[in-house]
Amino acid sequence: MKYGFAKRVKHLQSSAVRDILKVIDNGNVISFAGGLPDDDMFPVEAVQAAFDKTFQSGKKALQYGVTEGFMPLREIIVERMKTKGIQSTVDELLITTGSQQAIDLFSRVMFNPGDVVLTENPTYLAALQVFESYEVKVIPVLSDEHGMLPDDLAYKMKKYKPKCVYVVPTFANPSGKVWSLERRHYLLELAKRKKVLIFEDDPYGRIQFNDEEIYTPIAALDDGTHVLYTSTFSKTVVPALRTGWIKGPFQIIRMMAQAQQAAVLHSNSLAQHALYHLCCDFDLDGHIQLLRKTYFNRMKIMHELLQSANIPLSYVVPKGGMFFWIKLPEEINAADLLGHAVMRGVAYVPGAPFYVSDPEQNTIRLNYTHSTPDKLKEGMRVLVEVFSETNSTVHS
């Protein structure tokens, strides 16, 4: 039977990252492909204790909940955001099914087909998927390691009159970059003058390697009118809880809550109750410190082995987050190279799918948080050999 799908489904595409993971999960492959935290770092006992306490507290957690989210958890999130300089009330905050749903709900209530979003190039692949599904026109802004270039941002803000600027300014996925404070201020000031919203995606902000450095969220610089800020517990507790949140102007948050109510009534309230007890009874900040130390050491291992490659590589050493963003010599196509790497037992993500336009085919993203140190060393030695062999072949 030929099914009459809605026209909008032509914009739905499978994630390149998920497609790679489905293939490599079936074999004995060391994967640097997914943006995965380390399973062994999950606070299993604390999560179990939190669920035990949830069930001991009665049956309320098993009932339908309010769309905006479990109030005590929202209050804790408001307090935790204050440590990053972000001021909010519970009415300006919505619990979502991961921060991914926050992007979708925002897009659903704000964008008409043809509306414009400005973003960096490359940027978070799954955000691009959401924007495309709502028939949004995504325009890339030129950037360097400090963020969007002011002149190009101003030019494209004037030319395209965007409804929103989507940014991941702290340990970006995939590039790993950190925007300078000056670039954050400039974007906010320009957005206010032009009456444009900023969507700040911050899933990795807590995973910073230098405790002395301060990475001020753009939302902390705002008066609450122009910036929507989303984050998640997926990288600091466990991904399976699928609990994130978004903070923003009350009128937008209220409309997003209505859209969520129409779609799923509310996010998983059982997980929200458990997260509340976990935040009350577990030293989450101490756990995050352990994650920072562990992931920093793994990043150093990957960096040392990248330095050993007999091939010119271009990258920025991450100050936090989960990824290296690597540029190989221009003659090497990272997608073509992936098959050779997988045959040798190692996988990565080619960089092209992360681009809005003009993809650089010689780019790759490597995740260093999921593999153990021994697996990191084993996999990177193989990958460096593959790089070197390919470089020798293209230049022979």
| Of the residues 281, 300, 329, the one at which a domain ends | 281
| Of the residues 239, 265, 281, the one at which a domain ends | 281
Give the domain extent around 291: 7-42+285-394
- DSSP character string of 171-221: S-TTT--B--HHHHHHHHHHHHHHT-EEEEE-SSTT-BS-TT-----HHHH
Q: How confident is the model at residue 379 (pLDDT cuts 50, 70, 90)?
A: very high
pTM, 2 dp: 0.93
Quote the pLDDT of residue 23: 55
Q: Closest Cα partner for 326 from 176, 146, 224, 216?
A: 176
- Tell me which of 50-54, 113-117, 335-339 is least confident: 335-339
- Quote the distance between the C-alpha of residue 117 and its chain's center: 17
How many whole angstroms separate alpha carbon 42 and alpha carbon 233?
A: 12
Question: What is the signed CA dihedral for 141, 142, 145, 146, rounded to 10 degrees?
Answer: -60
* Whether residue 246 is found in the same domain as residue 199: yes
Scored b (16 or more CB within 10 A) or e, 39-77 reads eebebeebbebbbebbeeeeeebeeebebbbbebbbebb
Quote the pLDDT of residue 388: 84
How does DSSP classify residue 262? H
Quote the pLDDT of residue 216: 97
- Quote the distance between the C-alpha of residue 360 and its chain's center: 20
Q: What is the pLDDT of residues 232-285, one digit of tens each?
A: 999 999 999 999 999 999 999 999 999 999 888 888 899 999 999 999 999 999
The residue with greater pLDDT, 12 or 317, is 317
* Whether residue 253 is found in the same domain as residue 307: no
Q: How confident is the model at residue 392 (pLDDT cuts 50, 70, 90)?
A: low
Quote the pLDDT of residue 354: 95
* Whether residue 66 is found in the same domain as residue 21: no
Q: How confident is the model at residue 366 (pLDDT cuts 50, 70, 90)?
A: very high
CATH number at residue 150: 3.40.640.10
Q: What is the domain count for the chain?
A: 2
Q: SS3 of 245, please?
A: strand
Q: What is the pLDDT of residues 13-65, one digit of tens each?
A: 655 555 556 655 556 889 999 889 999 999 999 999 999 999 998 888 888 89
| Of the residues 237, 261, 281, the one at which a domain ends | 281
- Tell me which of 28-32, 146-150, 173-177, 300-304 is least confident: 28-32
Q: Is residue 2 part of a domain?
A: no
Over residues 140-153, the mean pLDDT reads 97
CATH number at residue 324: 3.90.1150.10
Residue pair 187/165 in contact by the 8 Å Cβ criterion: yes
* Whether residue 237 is found in the same domain as residue 345: no
How many whole angstroms separate alpha carbon 191 and alpha carbon 15?
A: 30
Over residues 190-208, the mean pLDDT reads 97
* Whether residue 209 is found in the same domain as residue 306: no
* Whether residue 190 is found in the same domain as residue 316: no
Structure tokens at 275: 């997260």
Quote the pLDDT of residue 34: 86
Q: Residue holding tokens 């003659």?
A: 331
Percent of the chain with pLDDT over 90: 82
Percent of the chain with pLDDT over 70: 92
* Whether residue 263 is found in the same domain as residue 313: no
Scored b (16 or more CB within 10 A) or e, 119-136 reads bbbbbbbbbbbbbbbbbb
Over residues 104-119, the mean pLDDT reads 97
Q: SS3 of 222, please?
A: coil
With a CB cutoff of 8 Å and minimum separation 6, the contacts of 108 are 134, 256, 259
Quote the pLDDT of residue 20: 59
Whether the predicted pLDDT of 10 surpasses 90: no
Phi, psi torsion values for 347, nearest 5 degrees: -130, 150
* Whether residue 234 is found in the same domain as residue 352: no
With a CB cutoff of 8 Å and minimum separation 6, the contacts of 178 are 169, 170, 171, 172, 215, 319, 320
Q: What is the pLDDT of residues 76-96, one digit of tens each?
A: 999 999 999 999 999 999 999
Quote the pLDDT of residue 11: 62
Q: Is residue 1 part of a domain?
A: no
Other beta carbons less than 10 A from residue 17's beta carbon: 20
